[in-house]
Amino acid sequence: MAEVPGAACAASGAASPRRPAVSRSAHADSSEILQISDELAAIRDAFDLRAPAYDESEMHRSLADAVASFAATSNVGTVLDVATGTGLVLRALREHLPDARLIGVDISPGMLAVARESLPAAQFLEADAAALPLPDAATDLITCVTALHLIPDIRGSVQEWQRTLAPGGRLVTATFLMPDDAPAPDEHRHGPSASRPYVRDHRPFRSVEATAQTFSDLGFALNRHVVWADDVDTVLIAELLPEA
């Protein structure tokens, strides 16, 4: 099982960011703030606005339960939930893995504030998916649920996730299934009109085949999957293994 030194992942930025749009700068008080691109800042601001009501979403709560049931296996020591939001997936995983170390990262301080209050036992870090403040081989299971369509640098992010996976580690994603003629990336503005628009692109994950191809190009093989649906959304929950 992978182990994460506590100090290394608290806020030290142990891994060097691979993405020039993201950096950390030191405050006089030696804490750090995340410097992110305008693109990520628009996403961050939108989810900061959404944070107080996010947990009211029955869809996100039910999907988190389904992902946890699918992903949890007894040999998991450390879980990293990328784009954790309010920590719904970690909260659900805790029911299955009470002894696992739980780490969540997100760029939205508002979402992370809800997560910290809801799951004090977990460690929540403000970080971009493509620049994780974690050592190499620190995690056994990485989850990323309903966020891949938001991440501009998928290649850099998945490479970064691979770096932090221990040998035998797994990636579990949940992505929205769409028709093959799904529209091109759209500018989206969620909820309050005060939020700036940001880009979503579901096409790389629109089907089982597209998801398998996207991850194959990134060095991961689709190992197993289930399809989850409610009255509105159909979501692919997929387990991906690094290719040797």
Ligand X SMILES: C[S@@+](CC[C@H](N)C(=O)[O-])C[C@H]1O[C@@H](n2cnc3c(N)ncnc32)[C@H](O)[C@@H]1O
> Which positions touch ligand X (CB under 6 A)?
40, 43-44, 47, 60, 64, 83-85, 88-89, 105-108, 111, 128-129, 145-147, 150-151
Q: Kindly state the smallest distance separating residue 244's Cβ from ligand X, in Å.
A: 28
Residue among 1 and 121 whose Cβ is closer to ligand X: 121
Q: Kindly state the smallest distance separating residue 58's Cβ from ligand X, in Å.
A: 12
Q: Kindly state the smallest distance separating residue 158's Cβ from ligand X, in Å.
A: 12
Residue among 78 and 175 whose Cβ is closer to ligand X: 175
Cβ atoms of 82 and 240 within 8 Å: the answer is no
Q: Kindly state the smallest distance separating residue 54's Cβ from ligand X, in Å.
A: 7
Q: At what angle do helices 109-118 and 38-54 cross, to 10 degrees?
A: 40
Cβ atoms of 94 and 103 within 8 Å: the answer is no
Task: Select the residue whose beta carbon is closest to ligand X and give its number.
Answer: 85
Residue among 60 and 96 whose Cβ is closer to ligand X: 60
Residue among 4 and 142 whose Cβ is closer to ligand X: 142
